């Protein structure tokens, strides 16, 4: 079976980390775009089709939570997995209340990350599928009206 | 006046006994001594508040007795009885540390007055002493709190700063491993060496990760994840982890588990950590050929988990301190002094208690009691602070 790559946007100010994790995810067959700040991440989302954002919570400038709010406002269907180097799960929980799919603690276990990435992608696919079906119904009803 | 412990020293029997009788009528029952030597031997056995002391006595005279008393029992007050018009003796007595002197023949009311004054002085000084001790204790507690607060801040900072580079190492090693597994790499020379080294890097990262999480777990309170905990399994896991260390010292680990203990609702990983802490301590305290016993039983609707060793025991004076942060009898670099402190915090957080019993040369046992169903106290620090403040109010109110 051919793996359909998940389109991942990786947002973190730690350049080395971004580089290595994207290499690793690429190697696993995902399609990775990177951004080094929240602002850059949002710009990327405007231009690029993304399934899942892996988002660092602690970043200079626009932090993860703020970025998350913006993402959910402008691109509600995009799933977000929060990354935290911090021990506090509070922020992560706050993130999930704001609509993040899940969170991981740095350094993350790669198997964990893969599982969560997969699940996030699945949720997005299913949601889009539901929307498509609803649209089809809508269309049918309209044409039925005619 | 009733509680005054008074010693009456005079070689004239009649005089002394008369005085004693009159004092007894006033509710002060004095001990009596007919010589300085006798007085000192009474003081050896019994603590006295006040000594009424005749100066002129055969054998050891009053001044000499006074010297001894002030040297050995500085808090005992002495009232001198001097001969008629012998002011010189009285002055010398006061210089040596007597509370005051009275010239014979004395007026009884006068003596009574002096005794009362001396006793007041003793009470004042005792209060001062209590206050000083209380303040010292408070200062120590505050220092501990401050030290903990700064440790918490430091721990969080360190953990965060280290987690990031750790994540980079982790991803890099993981990526290399992925590449090594590609078909094109199948024929790579010395591939196994690379794999071995990469595995070691990943293991190292795992270890460092555990440490930073522990540090954060110490600083933070909300990382408890409650779940079903099988204490028997947890004990087995903990034993496996420290088994090699025990085997090196030829220590036998015995498990005496009551079979009817079901799982409890608690925090399995923290409990395992507690067991590891206690077992590690037990191994360090136990000489080769010793024995460590882990016991699990049901008691009054709770479970009791005991770790007992046949080690060198804990001296009495240390028993109060072992749960304090940074208290360690291990040499610097070996013990952090945090093990038992963290252990107790975990247990208390899980609604349990931990107690220690120890006999020097015979061994030590730590007994943990845990509820079968744990409800986490939301803000332990706050509870502790309130308890501390309550105690403070009580103590300052009683002095």
Q: What is this structure's pTM?
A: 0.48
For A71-97, b/e burial (b = at least 16 CB within 10 A) is bbeeeeebbbbbbbbbbbbebbebbbe
pLDDT at B381 over 50: no
pLDDT at B141 over 70: no
Identify which of A25, A19, A16, A1 has the alpha carbon closest to the alpha carbon of residue A116. A25
Rg (CA), chain B: 33
Quote the CA–CA distance of B307 and B294 in Å, as a whole number: 5
Tell which wins on pLDDT, B236 or B337: B236
At A86, is the secondary structure helix, strand, or coil?
A: coil
Cβ contact A87–B169 (<8 Å): no
Q: What is the pLDDT of residue A37?
A: 94
Backbone angle region of B36, left / alpha / beta, with phi > 0 → left and psi within -120 to 50 → alpha: alpha
CB–CB contacts below 8 A, A to B: 70
What's the DSSP call for residue B185?
G
Identify which of A14, A58, A86 has the shortest CB distance to residue B168. Answer: A14
pLDDT at B399 over 50: no
Identify which of A58, A90, A106 has the shortest CB distance to residue B167. Answer: A106
Provide ipTM, 2 decimals. 0.76
For B213, the closest chain A residue by CA position comes to A87
Cβ contact A107–B170 (<8 Å): yes
Q: In order of start, what are the domains of chain B with their CATH numbers?
A: 6-106 (3.40.50.2300), 147-219 (1.10.287), 227-378 (3.30.565.10)
Cβ contact A107–B205 (<8 Å): yes
Please measure the distance between the N-terminal and C-terminal CA atoms of chain B and give it in whole angstroms.
20
For B174, the closest chain A residue by CA position comes to A24
Q: Where are the beta strands (DSSP E) in chain B?
A: 6-9, 31-33, 50-54, 77-82, 100-103, 227-229, 252-257, 264-266, 291-299, 302-309, 353-359, 363-371
In this structure, of A52-56, A95-99, B81-85, the range with the lowest mean pLDDT score is B81-85
Please compute the mean of the pLDDT values over residues B81-93 and round it to a whole number. 80
pLDDT at B222 over 50: no
Q: Token digits for A72?
A: 């959910």
Domain map of chain A by residue range?
Answer: 7-145
- Residues B243-298: tens digit of each pLDDT: 888 888 999 999 998 887 878 888 888 888 899 889 989 999 998 899 999 999 98
Q: What is the mean pLDDT of chain A?
A: 90
Q: What is the mean pLDDT of chain B?
A: 83
Tell which wins on pLDDT, B137 or B305: B305
Chain A residues touching B198 at Cβ < 8 A: none
Chain B residues touching A18 at Cβ < 8 A: none
- Residues A11-49: tens digit of each pLDDT: 999 899 999 999 999 988 999 999 999 999 999 999 999
B160 to chain A, closest Cα gap in Å: 5
Which of A106, A109, A111, A112 is the mutation pick for testing B, counting most B CBs within 10 A? A106
- Residues B174-209: tens digit of each pLDDT: 999 999 998 898 898 999 999 999 999 998 898 888
Quote the CA–CA distance of B143 and B131 in Å, as a whole number: 18
CATH class of domain segment(s) A7-145: alpha beta
- Residues A61-106: tens digit of each pLDDT: 898 999 999 999 999 999 999 998 765 677 888 899 999 999 998 8
Chain B residues touching A85 at Cβ < 8 A: 160, 163-164, 167
A33 to chain B, closest Cα gap in Å: 16
Which of A54, A87, A103, A104 is the mutation pick for testing B, counting most B CBs within 10 A? A87
Output the CA torsion B293→B296→B299→B303 (10° steps).
130
Chain A residues touching B205 at Cβ < 8 A: 107
pLDDT at B333 over 50: no
Chain A residues touching B222 at Cβ < 8 A: 88-90
What's the DSSP call for residue B55?
S
Quote the CA–CA distance of B303 and B12 in Å, as a whole number: 69
């Amino acid at each position: 079976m051919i793996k359909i790559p998940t389109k991942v946007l990786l947002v973190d100010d730690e350049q080395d980390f971004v580089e290595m994790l994207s290499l690793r995810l690429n190697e696993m067959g995902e399609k990775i775009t990177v951004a080094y700040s929240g602002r850059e991440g949002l710009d990327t989302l405007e231009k690029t089709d993304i399934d899942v954002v892996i988002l660092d919570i602690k970043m200079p400038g626009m932090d993860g939570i703020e970025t998350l709010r913006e993402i959910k406002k402008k691109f509600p269907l995009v799933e977000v997995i929060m990354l935290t180097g911090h021990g506090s799960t509070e922020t992560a929980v706050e993130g999930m209340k704001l609509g993040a799919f899940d969170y991981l603690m740095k350094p993350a276990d790669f198997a964990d990350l893969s599982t969560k990435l997969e699940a996030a992608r699945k949720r997005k696919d299913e949601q889009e599928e539901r929307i498509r079906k609803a649209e089809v119904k809508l269309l049918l009803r309209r044409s039925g009206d005619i | 006046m009733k509680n005054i412990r008074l010693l009456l020293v005079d070689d004239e029997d009649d005089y002394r006994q008369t005085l004693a009788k009159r004092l007894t009528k006033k509710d002060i029952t004095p001990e009596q001594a007919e010589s300085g030597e006798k007085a000192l031997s009474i003081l050896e056995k019994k603590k006295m508040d006040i000594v009424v002391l005749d100066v002129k006595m055969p054998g050891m005279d009053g001044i000499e007795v006074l010297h001894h008393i002030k040297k050995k029992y500085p808090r005992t007050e002495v009232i001198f009885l001097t001969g008629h018009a012998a002011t010189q003796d009285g002055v010398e007595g006061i210089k040596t540390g007597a509370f005051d002197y009275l010239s014979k023949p004395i007026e009884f009311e006068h003596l009574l007055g002096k005794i009362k004054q001396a006793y007041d002085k003793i009470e004042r000084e005792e209060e001062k002493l209590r206050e000083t001790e209380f303040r010292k204790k408070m200062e120590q507690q505050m220092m501990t709190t401050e030290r903990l607060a700064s440790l918490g801040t430091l721990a969080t900072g360190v953990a965060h700063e280290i987690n990031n580079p750790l994540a980079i190492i982790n991803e890099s090693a993981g990526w290399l491993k992925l590449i090594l597994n590609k078909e094109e790499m199948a024929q790579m020379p010395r591939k196994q060496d690379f794999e071995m080294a990469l595995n070691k890097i990943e293991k190292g990262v795992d270890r460092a990760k555990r440490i930073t999480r522990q540090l954060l777990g110490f600083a933070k309170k909300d990382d408890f994840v409650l779940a079903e905990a099988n204490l028997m399994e947890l004990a087995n896991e903990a034993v496996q982890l420290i088994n090699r260390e025990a085997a090196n010292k030829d220590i036998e680990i015995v498990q005496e588990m009551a079979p009817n203990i079901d799982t409890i609702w608690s925090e399995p990983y923290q409990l395992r950590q507690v067991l590891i802490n206690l077992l590690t301590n037990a191994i360090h305290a136990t000489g080769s050929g010793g024995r460590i016993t882990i016991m699990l039983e049901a008691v009054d609707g709770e479970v009791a988990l005991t770790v007992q060793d046949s080690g060198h025991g804990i001296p009495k004076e240390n028993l109060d301190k072992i749960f304090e942060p940074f208290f360690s009898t291990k040499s610097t670099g070996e013990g952090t002094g945090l093990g038992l402190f963290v252990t107790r915090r975990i247990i208390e957080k899980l609604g349990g208690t931990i107690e220690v019993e120890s006999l020097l040369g015979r061994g030590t046992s730590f007994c943990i009691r845990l509820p079968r169903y744990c409800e986490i106290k939301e803000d332990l620090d706050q509870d502790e602070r309130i308890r501390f403040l309550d105690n403070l109010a009580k103590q300052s109110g009683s002095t």
